[in-house]
């Protein structure tokens, strides 16, 4: 299915199911790829730099060239496999078990994110080193090092957002109930007084205002992330009741 995988499962009862995750939402997929890729890239940058220095100490310029060529070859291979229309067939040649389609897609996203962010971090560190050695800036490599370093906390924010924007659930207009999964929760729209909708990329953040009969607190999520079409349906159901 396309974006958000919204589906009317039965024309008779008009039950609506949706799934927002890295396989159905571009926003979640990009955030997840950036977050995971940046963390892996930061680790591999340190490892590659160590190898680069050790190779230089052992074989001078030739060692440097070999390490750079090896890194470039791996990066090109990853991008070529990711761009292929038949990735599974290429991976079947390797002496490893090929994971399922969804897990394979996430692994490819992580690999591509690692290559891209590794290139960005490596470029920043390289430019910073060149600027510092040639004294082109009074502050040296600090601006470039700072930008490279700040990518790690940004990656953490991206992963938190990706987790927040994921949502799997079902809206039953006849029962006036929302069923959420991962984790499992049930929201009875009869106890909802009002809703407000805020668009966030390809998603809608639905804020729920619960009734408080006799001043009693009603448990339940105050904000949920759903596809915009589902948010409009929920708002219409709550509005028709009130």
The domain defined by 3-22+166-241 folds into PH-domain like (2.30.29)
Measured CA to CA, the distance from residue 218 to residue 221 in angstroms comes to 10
pLDDT at 20 over 80: yes
pLDDT at 89: 60
Query: Among 1-5, 43-47, 53-57, 201-205, which is the least confidently predicted range?
Result: 1-5
Q: In the structure encoding, which two tokens stand for residue 236, read together?
A: 């219409």
The fraction of the chain above a pLDDT of 70, given in percent, is 86
Q: What is the pLDDT of residues 173-200, one digit of tens each?
A: 988 999 999 788 999 998 999 999 999 8
- Tokens linked to 128: 């910073």
Strand partners, 15: 10
Mean pLDDT over 14-36 rounds to 89
Region 12-37: mean pLDDT is: 87
Predicted pLDDT of residue 135? 77
Q: How far is CA 123 from CA 6, 15, 31, 116, 147, in A?
A: 41, 51, 21, 11, 11
- Count of CB atoms situated within 10 Å of the CB of 200: 13
Element spanning 168, H or E: strand 167-172
Helix extents (H) in 84-176: 87-91, 101-133, 142-165
Question: Residues near 143 by Cβ (< 8 Å), separated by ≥ 6?
Answer: 128, 137
Cα 27 to Cα 166: distance, rounded to the nearest angstrom: 10
pLDDT bucket at 94, cuts 50 / 70 / 90: low
Which residues have a Cβ under 8 Å from the Cβ of 63 and sit 6 or more positions away?
A: 54, 55, 56, 57
- Identify which of 32-41, 197-206, 231-240 has the greatest average pLDDT: 32-41
Coil, helix or strand at residue 205: strand
Residue 85 has pLDDT above 80, yes or no: no
Per-residue pLDDT at 8: 47
Peptide bond preceding 96 in cis form (omega within 30 of 0): no
- pLDDT score recorded for residue 33: 95
The answer to whether 148 touches 121, Cβ cutoff 8 Å, is: yes
- Average pLDDT over every residue of 33-60: 91
Assess contact for 118 and 41: CB atoms under 8 A.
yes
Q: Give the model's confidence band at 63: pLDDT under 50 very low, under 70 low, under 90 confident, else very high.
A: confident
> Which residues are 17's β-sheet partners?
7, 170
**Residue 13: what pLDDT?**
57
Domain boundaries, the chain: 3-22+166-241, 26-163
Write out pLDDT tens, residues 109-159.
Answer: 999 999 999 999 989 988 888 888 887 777 778 888 899 999 999 999 999
- What's the whole-model pTM score? 0.78
CA 102 to chain CA mean position, Å: 14
pLDDT value at residue 2: 44
Helix axis angle, 101-133 relative to 142-165, nearest 10°? 160
For residue 72, pLDDT over 80 is answered with yes
Per-residue confidence (pLDDT) for residue 137, from 0 to 100: 79
Cα–Cα distance for residue pair 208/81, rounded to 1 Å = 44
Helix (H, G, I), strand (E, B) or coil at 208: strand
DSSP label of 22: T
């Amino acid at each position: 299915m396309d974006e958000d995988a919204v589906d009317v499962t039965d024309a008779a009862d008009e039950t609506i199911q949706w799934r927002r995750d890295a396989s159905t939402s571009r926003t979640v997929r990009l955030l997840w790829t950036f977050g995971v890729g940046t963390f892996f890239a930061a680790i591999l940058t340190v490892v590659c730099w160590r190898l680069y220095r050790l190779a230089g100490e052992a074989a001078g310029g030739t060692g440097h060239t070999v390490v750079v060529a090896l890194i470039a070859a791996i990066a090109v291979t990853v991008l070529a496999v990711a761009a292929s229309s038949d990735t599974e067939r290429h991976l079947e040649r390797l002496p490893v078990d090929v994971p399922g389609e969804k897990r394979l897609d996430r692994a490819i996203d992580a690999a591509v994110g690692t290559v891209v962010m590794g290139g960005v971090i490596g470029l920043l560190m390289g430019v910073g080193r060149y600027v510092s050695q040639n004294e082109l800036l009074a502050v040296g490599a600090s601006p470039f090092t700072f930008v490279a370093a700040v990518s790690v906390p940004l990656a953490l924010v991206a992963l938190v957002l990706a987790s927040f924007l994921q949502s799997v659930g079902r809206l039953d207009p006849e029962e006036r109930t929302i069923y959420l999964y991962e984790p499992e929760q049930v929201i009875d729209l009869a106890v909802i007084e009002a809703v407000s909708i805020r668009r966030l990329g390809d998603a809608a953040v639905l804020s729920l205002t619960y009734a408080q009969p006799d001043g009693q607190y009603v448990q339940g999520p105050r904000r949920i992330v759903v596809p915009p079409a589902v948010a409009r349906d929920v708002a219409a159901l709550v509005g028709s009741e009130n």
